[in-house]
Structure 1
Amino acid sequence: MLYIFYNEIDKNECAKLVLEEINNPYVTLIPAGKNIWSYKNTFSRFLLHMGFCLHFPFKYNFNHNFISIVKQIKKSDSILIFAGGFGISPCLSFPFLKFCNAQKKYLWLWDSVLSKTDLRFLKYLKKYYEVFTFDAFDAEKYGLTYKNTVAHFPFVSMSAHEEKLESDIYFVGKDRGRYDKLNKLFEIFSKLGIVCDFNILRDETSPQKEKTLKFSERRIPQYENYGRLNKSRSVLDIPVAGQHGLTQRTLESLFLRRKVITTNEWIKKEKLYSEENVYIITDENLNDIQEFLSASFRKTDLSDYKIDNWIRAFIVERGG
């Protein structure tokens, strides 16, 4: 049996959406939220809070309920911590070593190593776990095991259908330090006669003064996001600095048979990559972008990015 622990208090609920789609009798899901901790006093609660903030491996005390669940795990079983980021890792990894009988302990990171704090904690994790990552760059740099990302529920279940196209390139997201790059691309695309539907929200990284590209005044809800994506020829994917792993925006696009324009050169290492569907921006000479957009979409096998296949391969490969 493979027991998967995940953070049920993740703000975006991506892990929950993905994992609840698993249909495998050899997999048991164990949500881990604030309810698993036992606070002896105010100071222990303070340590717990600091651990969440600093990613520091304090040895927290779990409540008896949670301990009894974990103690049912046999030596022949495996555990996988499905970590949406570094947030859940320090809370679960080290205390598990006290009372978890499973010999095989894995941890999959759905986030890139972006800070010295992340790197410090990663060194501790590697002592006790086989650590997987969705980021091929991090896998090579830090000696981790690469395991591709997974698409969460809405994109997998939605069937692509023909819509009247209203734009050539669609972008949606917070600034996150990308405004200047997006503005430059917006200007280049517009000069080429390409219709852009760019929706960028201000955040703490945004400049006070707008350039050609204007900021959006409202957040686009998910249902509207899918509709606008489906009415565009392609999606523009600009990962934040330091991230090389596949974004959900890319998977959204390909599951809906829309092309991807991206600055992420590491996408070439993905099984889903094809020159017909993915255009990698390497400089500002984009004169062939129109030819790319007008060509037909190539049918792509995305089965490896569905959770049941992802987890089945994991169990077989690792003997879970």
Structure 2
Amino acid sequence: MKNLEHLKGKKILFFCVQSFNMEKDIIKQLEKHGALVTYFDERPANNNFTKGMIRINRNFLQRRINKYYQNILKLISNQEFDFLLVNRGEVVPKFFLEKFIKLKPKCQRIFYTWDSFGNHSHGLSILEYFHKKFTFDRKDAVKYQIGFRPLYFTDRYREIYESDTDKSIDLLFLGTAHSDRYIISNQIAEWCKENKLTVFNYYYMQGRLVYFYKKYFDPSFKMFDFKKLSFKSLNAQDIVQYYDKCNVVLDISHPGQSGLTMRTFETIGAGKKLITTNIEIKSYPFYNPHNILVFDRNDIKIEREFFYNEYIPLNSDLYEKCSIDGWLEDIFMNNEINSWNIN
């Protein structure tokens, strides 16, 4: 990506929640291109209690959040920045952005979210403070008149594109436990067993507090088997190793979300086939029915032949566009209206 050479020497203040080390991947890639990154977790702490309480009742932690951001203002008061990048905007308060703008009026401010506003609405309340705003969700982009930019795969997935590792897993599901994921993945797992295909499912839950809250208020969680949940997230290397062993990846998107998941792009980076509930994928330039099978979550029908189809590689330009460098180029160097604004 030629434009990324312009990041060399640029000072970037970066806020992002800690999520499967995705924030570390972004920092690493920015630094690879010569940027100087100052990073802060959006949340005042990364323990399960804090993460759960932010989701359940943010007001309970508001004083702590305010104190956390007041301290950040003190730490950065004598530093200059070329860019402010807020990724997700789950916690960053208005007062912080207002004071930051007064302190650093020349800094270009960029907002991105890899979650839908229906799941995390706080970002909507701070959009006005940014020069450029992007979302991974095309419907949200249209609704709120901001830029549309899908997610990406990181360089580690390139390494397993043509791996000769024995493929011991026919279908792989890795994901956070929410909505109807457990029900759907178990139904598909049963179908796979009947068709003599091996399956591996991994369900992550942010914490026991979140689990019991959802168990009480969310009817879909009443069917979750507590023993099958993991309260420890997989690290990046764990995920890559699972991908290396599999042929097909199962993606079950949130019912209220139209944006494509990170899993979608990881399968592209790794050269794996994908089975997904997200019908929106059919409008993307990389959609190919040989590589991607879309099914109805309310009427599950899987084609056995799909597991034996050969994967058809993307052309190099489109492959690179789906990479983390393609993502960085779009949000840092391009305008909100770009080539991802597909019809």
TM-score normalised according to structure 1 size = 0.74
| Whole-angstrom CA distance in 1 between matches of 2:224 and 2:37 | 46
8 Å Cα contact 2:134-2:148 kept in structure 1? yes
SS of corresponding position for 1:268: helix
Could you tell me how far 1:154 is from its partner in structure 2? 3.3
| 1:307 aligned residue | 324
Contact between 2:84 and 2:109, CA under 8 Å: does it hold in 1? yes
Is the counterpart of residue 17 in structure 1 residue 32 in structure 2?
no
Aligned match of 2:37: 29
> Please, which moves more after superposition, 15-24 or 216-225?
216-225
1:260 paired residue number: 274
Contact 1:261 1:278 in 2 (8 A): yes
Tell me what 2:299 maps to: 284
**Contact 1:201-1:215 at 8 Å conserved across structures:** no
Specify the SS of the correspondent of 1:68.
coil
From 84, 91, 95, give the equivalent of 1:87: 91
- Aligned residue for 2:307? 293
The counterpart of 1:184, out of the listed 168, 184, 187, is 187
1:66 and 2:70 are equivalent in the alignment: no
> Contact conserved, 2:20 with 2:234, CA < 8 A, in 1?
no
Residue 140 in structure 1 maps to residue 142 in structure 2:
yes
Q: Does the residue aligned with 1:246 lie in a helix, a strand or coil? A: coil
Indicate yes or no: 2:103 matched with 1:99.
yes
Task: Give 1:99 deviation, angstroms.
Answer: 1.6
Unpaired segments ≥5 residues, structure 2? 1-6, 45-58, 206-210, 216-220, 337-343
Deviation string 1:243-266 (CA, Å, 9 cap, x unpaired) is 332322223322222111111122
Q: Are the aligned partners of 1:86 and 1:111 in contact in 2 as well (CA < 8 Å)?
A: no
Alpha-carbon separation, structure 1, partners of 2:74 and 2:224: 55
Amino acid at match of 2:177: D
Amino acid at match of 2:97: S
The amino acid that maps onto 1:133 is: T
Q: What does residue 241 of structure 2 align with?
A: 227
Counterpart position of 1:248: 262
Assess if the C-alpha contact under 8 Å between 2:174 and 2:203 holds in 1.
Answer: yes
Deviation at 1:308, TM superposition (A): 2.9
What does residue 215 of structure 1 align with?
228
**TM-score between the two structures when normalised by the length of structure 2:** 0.70
2:62 aligns with one of 42, 50, 54: 50
Query: Is the contact between residue 169 and residue 197 of structure 1 (CA under 8 Å) also seen in structure 2?
Result: yes
Q: Which moved more, 1:175-184 or 1:310-319?
A: 310-319
Q: Is the 8 A contact 2:11 2:37 kept in 1?
A: yes
Aligned-residue offset at 1:276: 1.8
Residue 157 (structure 2) aligns with: 155
Q: Distance in 2 between matches of 1:259 and 1:85?
A: 32
* Cα distance in 1 between the residues matched to 2:231 and 2:112: 34
After superposing the two structures, state which structure 1 stretch, 294-303 or 183-192, moved more: 183-192
Deviations 1:258-313 (Å, cap 9, x if unpaired)?
A: 111111122234443322211111253525x2222211101124212333333234
Q: CA deviation at 1:125?
A: 1.7
Whole-angstrom distance in 1 between the partners of 2:330 and 2:324: 10
Gap runs ≥5 in structure 1: 37-46
Deviation by residue 1:64-122 (Cα, 9 ceiling, x = unmatched): 4401113xx4xxx5x2414145234657533322222227432111222134xx43651
Secondary structure of the equivalent of 1:312?
helix
Give the superposition deviation at 1:144. 1.8
Residue 197 of structure 1: CA displacement? 2.4
Separation of aligned partners in 2, 1:158 and 1:233: 12
Once the 2 structures are TM-superposed, how far is the Cα of residue 209 of structure 1 from its aligned partner?
6.1
Query: For the residues of structure 1 that align with 2:285 and 2:16, how far apart are their CA atoms?
Result: 29
| Partner AA of 1:4 in structure 2 | I
In 2, the alpha carbon distance for the partners of 1:312 and 1:255 equals 17
Distance in 2 between residues matched to 1:170 and 1:237, nearest whole Å: 9
CA distance in 2, matches of 1:110, 1:3: 23
Structure 1 residues 168 and 104 mapped into 2: Cα distance closer, same or farther (>3 Å)? same
Q: Distance in 2 between matches of 1:194 and 1:182?
A: 14
- Residue 109 of structure 1: aligned partner: 113
Count of matched residue pairs:
294
Q: Which of structures 1 and 2 has the larger relative contact order (alpha carbons within 8 angstroms, sep 6+)?
A: 2
